[in-house]
Amino acid sequence: GAGKSTIIRAVYAEMRGLGYSISHTSRAPRGQEQNGVDYHFVSPQEFEEMIRKKAFAEWAKVYRDFKGTSWKSLRAVLDRGLDVIMDVDIQGARNIKKQYPAGVSIFILPPSLEVLEARLRARATDEEAVIQSRIGQAQEEIRNSSFYDYLIINDRLEEAVAEAQSVIRAERCRPSVRFPQIKERFGL
Residue 41 inside a domain? The answer is: yes
Provide the pLDDT confidence category of residue 1 given band limits of 50, 70 and 90.
Answer: low
Residue range 123-147: average pLDDT? 89
CATH number at residue 114: 3.40.50.300
The pairing of beta strand 24-25 with beta strand 40-41: parallel
**Residue 125 pLDDT:** 77
Provide the pLDDT confidence category of residue 156 given band limits of 50, 70 and 90.
Answer: very high
Q: How far is CA 140 from CA 19, 72, 114, 150, in A?
A: 29, 30, 15, 17
**Residue 2 pLDDT:** 63
What is the residue range of 34's domain?
4-172
**Residue 124 pLDDT:** 77
| Number of domains forming the structure of the chain | 1
Residue 187 inside a domain? The answer is: no
Q: Which residues make Cβ contacts (< 8 Å) with residue 188, sequence separation at least 6?
A: 182
pTM of this prediction? 0.84
Residue range 113-126: average pLDDT? 88
User: Count of CB atoms within 10 A of residue 173's CB?
Assistant: 8
Is the pLDDT score of 48 beyond 90? yes
Residue 71 inside a domain? The answer is: yes
Residue range 149-170: average pLDDT? 97
